[in-house]
């Protein structure tokens, strides 16, 4: 059994987390669960000892995240500090005993866009700029067998994936910038959403796929109906049941159209039961498929005057840093101590070699553009992510700014805030700051 060190109780952190729980419980619990506040300093202090006992940093992070609730209970005086550490030790040993003491890469969950994260996305900013300039008036869909429902006019502008485009358009509808109208619909797989479907008609009686489909005749006098070929005798039509000739269409007989016959059970029917098989081999029937709406998007005229307020050309401002010798990624996903891919609006390294060599970023930033002040939740989330990747410097950029609680928390976390009442004001502040950083880099 592996025993781990018992550090003294960090009372000051307990008080900090308790105040955060009172201010915003959900956000505080999410930050406690993230674990960097504990795992990073714990690893730094006991790395050599833990490694000698066969514990890696990834093991520590995984074990912590599986028992984080005990640390929440500690903050709320429901559990003692030593008991929380004991719970971590037990979880580590359980991982080792089960042969799972190496954390697996955690896939990024589909992002639920809030207004801040939506409006800072590059593809959304591009769409908004094109709408404001009149380059996009009506965003029309095109059905493509390989890709499904696509929007080529937006694809040409954004160069991003069709999935990102669809999410961005629907999110802009939710925020009121776009209006949508359903103009068509497509059947897709209820399990994976694939639109590439193979249709297999089945007998409604026995389920067999051994079917034939042919033109049908019904003799009105006796009611018998069958494939037309079974009525033909040379150039005449004779009813196989009553042997009377069929002379006048609409008087002696009718043509109901095409019908099916099952070669397995002999059933005769007009409509088979349709079975679908998607490109991922999921099988389902008519009553089970998902109906996907095909939409046309147009700019909401009432929102057009507000577009300029939420557009910020972050790439252009960051070009100043690139010209100064820094290496910049916009936007970027980075993996830190936790192994989870974390999104940032931008990340900056002293040069490309530092990035390729795995060095922590010199600077990471998050950009918020909206009509309301950014609150403490955004600061907490950004701080936790920045700690996880061990960023040297941290900056939050916002229009129109941050509320007082968010400012105070950012100050305590050494996060630099850049605020502007308008996009133009903030853009200039960013350029001034990045110019200073670039000048210092050249020296």
pLDDT tens readout for residues 83-98: 999 999 988 888 777 6
Second-level CATH architecture of 121-194+289-308: Orthogonal Bundle (1.10)
- Residue 111 pLDDT: 40
- Residue 113 pLDDT: 42
Q: What angle do CA 211, 215, 221 make, to 5 degrees?
A: 115
Query: Same CATH topology for 121-194+289-308 and 312-442?
Result: no
- Residue 107 pLDDT: 33
* Beta carbons of 331 and 121 less than 8 angstroms apart: yes
* Beta carbons of 369 and 423 less than 8 angstroms apart: yes
- Residue 243 pLDDT: 94
Nearest CA-CA partner of 379 in 408, 399, 346: 408
Let me know if domain 312-442 sits in CATH 3.90.550.10.
no
What percentage of residues in the chain have a pLDDT greater than 70? 92
Which residues, listed in sequence order, are joined to residue 237 by a DSSP beta bridge? 232
- Residue 99 pLDDT: 58
Q: For 339-357, what is each residue's pLDDT tens digit?
A: 667 888 899 999 999 999 9
List, as one string, the DSSP characters of 344-382: ESEEEESSHHHHHTTPPPSEEEEEEESSS-B-HHHHHHH
C-alpha dist (Å) from residue 246 to 117, 213, 230, 285: 73, 22, 13, 39
> Any idea where the domains of the chain sit in the sequence?
11-97, 121-194+289-308, 204-271, 312-442
More confident residue, 100 or 10: 10
Q: For 183-215, what is each residue's pLDDT tens digit?
A: 999 999 998 889 999 999 999 999 999 999 999
- Residue 215 pLDDT: 95
Looking at the predicted structure, is the pLDDT value of residue 242 above 90?
yes
Confidence band for 313, pLDDT divided at 50, 70 and 90: confident
Dihedral angle sign, alpha carbons of residues 152, 157, 161, 163:
negative
Looking at the predicted structure, is the pLDDT value of residue 167 above 90?
no
């Amino acid at each position: 059994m592996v025993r781990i060190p018992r550090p003294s109780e960090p009372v000051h952190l307990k008080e900090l987390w308790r105040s955060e729980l009172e201010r915003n419980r959900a956000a505080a619990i999410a930050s406690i669960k993230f674990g960097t506040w504990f795992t990073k300093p714990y690893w730094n202090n006991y790395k050599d000892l833990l490694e000698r006992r066969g514990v890696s940093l990834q093991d520590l992070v995984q074990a912590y995240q599986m028992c984080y609730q005990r640390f929440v209970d500690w903050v709320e005086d429901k559990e003692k500090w030593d008991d929380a550490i004991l719970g971590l030790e037990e979880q580590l040993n359980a991982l080792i005993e089960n042969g799972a003491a190496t954390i697996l890469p955690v896939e990024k969950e589909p992002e639920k866009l809030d207004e801040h994260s939506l409006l800072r996305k590059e593809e959304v900013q591009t769409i908004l700029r094109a709408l404001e300039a009149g380059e996009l008036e009506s965003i029309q869909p095109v059905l493509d067998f390989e890709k499904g429902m696509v929007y080529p006019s937006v694809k040409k502008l954004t160069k991003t994936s069709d999935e990102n485009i669809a999410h961005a358009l629907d999110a802009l509808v939710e925020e009121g910038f776009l209006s949508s109208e359903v103009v068509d619909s497509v059947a897709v797989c209820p399990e994976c959403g694939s639109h590439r479907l193979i249709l297999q008609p089945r007998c409604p009686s026995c389920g067999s796929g051994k079917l034939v489909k042919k033109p049908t005749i019904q003799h009105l006098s006796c009611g018998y109906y069958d494939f037309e070929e079974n009525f033909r005798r040379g150039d005449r039509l004779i009813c196989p049941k009553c042997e009377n000739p069929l002379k006048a269409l609409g008087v002696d007989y009718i043509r109901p159209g095409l019908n099916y016959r099952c070669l397995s059970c002999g059933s005769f029917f007009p409509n088979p039961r349709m079975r679908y098989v998607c490109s991922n081999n999921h099988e389902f029937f008519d009553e089970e498929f998902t109906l996907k709406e095909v939409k046309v998007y147009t700019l909401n005229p009432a929102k057009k005057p507000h577009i300029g307020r939420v557009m910020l050309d972050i790439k252009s401002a960051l070009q100043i840093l690139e010209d100064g010798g820094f290496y910049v990624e916009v936007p970027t996903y980075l993996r830190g101590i936790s192994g989870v891919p974390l999104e940032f609006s931008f990340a900056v390294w002293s040069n490309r070699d530092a990035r390729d060599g795995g060095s922590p970023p010199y600077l990471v930033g998050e950009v918020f553009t909206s009509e309301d002040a950014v609150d403490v939740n955004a600061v907490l989330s950004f701080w936790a992510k920045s700690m996880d990747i061990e960023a040297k410097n941290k900056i939050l950029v916002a229009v129109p700014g941050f509320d007082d609680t968010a400012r105070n928390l950012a100050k305590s976390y050494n996060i630099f805030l850049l605020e502007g009442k308008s996009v133009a004001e903030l853009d200039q502040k960013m350029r001034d700051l990045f110019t200073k950083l670039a000048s210092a880099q050249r020296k």
